Amino acid sequence: MLGSFMMDLITRAPRRPVAGETLIGTGFSQHLGGKGLNQAVAAARSGAHVRMIGAVGDDDYGRQFLQRLDDERIDGARVMTTARGTGVGLPLVEPGGENSIVVVPRANLAITPEDVRAAASMLQSSDVVLLQQELPLDAIAEAARIAHDAGVTVMLNPAPVLEGTRGLSGLVDILVPNEPEARSLTNDPSGTAEAVGKALLDEWDLGRVVLTLGPAGALVVDRDGATPVRAHAVDAVDTVGAGDAFCGSLAAGLARGDEFPSAVRYANVAAALSVTRAGGADSVPTYAEVSELMSGD
């Protein structure tokens, strides 16, 4: 996995402030996060052997991340320490659990295509390479190219959508956007979720598109059609990291050889459980927790 590290500094407030407004918040917490770490932890807690490429700062936040990788039994040998500060994320969470986030990548921007090429053997020997976009696009593209050329399944969570993201088409097997991201990535953004998924399938030359739809569940679109995956009714506390829990859990399911529909159902339950807890990586459930909920369905 090529991924990011962001220290999440989470603020809770009754609503989003309008321009120029100062609003009194209702809570604050700090959690280790970033899409890369969140998805890596989700995959590791689902039983996958996870190896990570990334960068943290030479600071206390960076040291906490390296310790967390050890604690989660994630191979961080290719995570470098730089003079730039560790990345930070600034989510604002509303009472219903919905969130909006500003991220400041900092050390994450130090990753180069050369760093990725130095880890080529790791990518080539993987079952699934999972990518997100809180890193420089040229490094992401290099990882996708190396894995694609080796016949490794490449899964991309195109978040945040970057200028030039469409240039990754042809290198990705499975695209996992949420609905707004999916609409921004297609030339035909105005149709139903199914229509948008089908457009992405063709425009990106994909094997599958999995649209994550929040409380509406997910939608799998492939050459055989579209299959909805129902949501699980839970009391949402914090939706930060729900999409990451889905992506990491889906990658782990595919790496262990699950059939695609089973892997998606597993990921959907993992995401539902994650929103019942606060934080990004901290909210990710274990394989046992997901399996217990699935067995009750």
CA–CA dist 62, 72 (Å, integer): 16
pLDDT for residue 296: 67
Handedness of CA 272, 273, 279, 283 (dihedral sign): negative
pLDDT for residue 235: 78
Per-residue pLDDT of the chain (297 residues; tens, 9 = 90+): 999 999 989 899 999 999 999 999 999 989 898 999 999 999 999 999 999 999 999 999 999 999 999 999 999 999 999 999 999 989 898 888 787 888 899 999 999 999 999 999 999 999 999 999 999 999 999 999 999 999 999 999 999 999 899 999 999 999 999 999 999 999 888 899 999 999 999 999 999 999 999 888 899 999 999 999 988 778 777 777 789 999 999 999 999 999 999 999 999 999 989 888 877 788 888 889 888 888 766
CA–CA dist 45, 278 (Å, integer): 17
CATH fold, domain 35-46+109-295, is UDP-N-acetylmuramoyl-L-alanine:D-glutamate ligase (3.40.1190)
Pairing label, strands 208-212, 153-156: unpaired
pLDDT for residue 297: 61
Query: In b/e form, how buried is each residue of 234-269, taking b as 16+ CB within 10 angstroms?
Result: beebbbbbbbbbbbbbbbbbbbbebebeebbbbbbb
Pairing label, strands 208-212, 174-175: parallel
Distance of CA 207 to the CA centre of its chain: 19
Torsion of CA 136, 138, 206, 261, to 10 degrees: -40
Give phi and psi for 183, each to the nearest 5.
Answer: -65, -35
CA–CA dist 275, 38 (Å, integer): 13
Domain segments of the chain as ranges: 35-46+109-295
pLDDT for residue 295: 77
Q: Could you tell me which residues come within 8 angstroms of residue 151 by beta carbon, excluding any fewer than 6 positions away?
A: none
Q: Cβ(134)–Cβ(6) under 8 Å? A: yes
Write out 22-57 in H/E/C secondary structure. CCCCCEEEEEEECHHHHHHHHHHHCCCCCEEEEEEE
- Residue with token string 């927790």: 289
The pTM for the full model equals 0.90
The vertex-215 CA angle with 211 and 216, nearest 5°, equals: 55
CA–CA dist 92, 89 (Å, integer): 10
- Look up residue 93 and give its two tokens: 């969470």
Q: Cβ(248)–Cβ(46) under 8 Å? A: yes
pLDDT for residue 107: 97
Binding site: which residues?
Answer: 6-8, 34-38, 134, 178, 212-217, 238, 240, 243-244, 268, 274, 277, 279, 283
- Residue with token string 């679109």: 221
Binding site for substrate: which residues?
Answer: 6-8, 34-38, 134, 244
pLDDT for residue 91: 86
Identify the CA nearest to 249 among candidates 263, 231, 239.
Answer: 263
Catalytic residue positions? 244
